[in-house]
Every structure is written in structure tokens, then in C-alpha cells.
Amino acid sequence: MGLFLPTDWKYDTSQEKAGSFLLGLAIGKMWFVNSKTGERLALKYRAVSLNLGAGPPVQASWSHAADPSHGVGNVTVASGKYFGSLSFPCRGYVLSLSGTVGLLAEQHQGTGALTMILFGLDPVFAGVRIVGSGHAVFPGAGAGGGVAVFEHA
């Protein structure tokens, strides 16, 4: 894949609604901010994934933009490639490790996840790692991977 270098783009926040029964489906939005120019980038996405884990075979989860989340480092970009508003629409990959204690009161986050978003299919041109929390109906833990479509929100 080559060398990936940090950009001035930082993950800001996201929101998502997801459900799974063997296959996972998710729709959401994510926001990025360029720390040098102040430019904001809002993306919407749809993803389909295959998930493996412990817990019920069915799950519903959601997160709000106000739920705690942050990027682990800046968005990285492949050498000679670009990340910004002209990069979209595109397809990409979503890889995730998550755990949940199940449905809690709305003010509490019962789900935690480490997610890697890779923009571009062949080749991947950029990526970002995200740690976040949200809400889910059932307890469980798992890992998943899938493909997504990213567009301007």
C-alpha cells in the first residue's frame, strides 16, 4: 500500500444508526476539520459488513454527534494522494472492534468501538482511526469489516 503520511485533517465527530443480523448495515455522518485552514468536511456514508462476535445474532446500535469520540491521530494519506472535499464521493472499507453492555439510559454510553475507515477501494488513498462510544440494545463483543460508500452530506 505504500507510505501513509499525516494530513492537517482531523476527525471531529460522527453519528450512526446500525443494525445487524449476520450482516451489518449502517448509515451515518462524520465530520472532519482541517486544523490549518478551518475548513469543515461533512460526509454521509452507508456500509455493509460481516460481523463475528459473542452475543445475540441480532443487534441495533446508534450514536449521536454529541457522544464522546475522537480520532487517533490525524487523517493519513497515501504518498502522492489527496484527502479533501474533491476526494468524494468514493467507496472504501470499515474495520471495527466493539463491545457493548446493552441498553442503558439514554444519557449513558453502553458501547465502545475502535474503528478504522479506509477511503478508496483499489487503491486506498487515505485512512483514519476513530475511538467512540454510543448505545446498543444487547450486550456483546465482536469484530467486523465491510465496504462503504462515502458522499458529501
Please state, as a whole number, how many other Cβ atoms lie within 10 Å of the Cβ of residue 123. Answer: 9
CB atoms within 10 A of CB 76: 19
Bin 37: left if φ > 0, else alpha if -120 < ψ < 50, else beta: alpha
Threshold 0.75, pTM exceeds? yes
Q: Across the chain, what does the average pLDDT equal? A: 92
Cell of 90: 468514493
Average pLDDT over residues 28-47: 98
Percent of the chain whose pLDDT exceeds 90:
78
> Which SS3 state, helix, strand or coil, does residue 7 take?
coil
Cell numbers that stand for 107 in this block: 444519557
The DSSP H or E segment spanning 91 is: strand 90-101
Residue 94: CB partners within 8 Å, gap ≥ 6? 26, 47, 49, 115, 116, 117, 118, 144, 145, 146, 147, 148
* pLDDT the model gives residue 110: 82
pLDDT tens-place string over residues 65-84: 999 999 999 999 999 999 99
- C-alpha 142/C-alpha 125 separation (Å) is 27
Q: Which H or E run contains 114?
A: strand 111-119
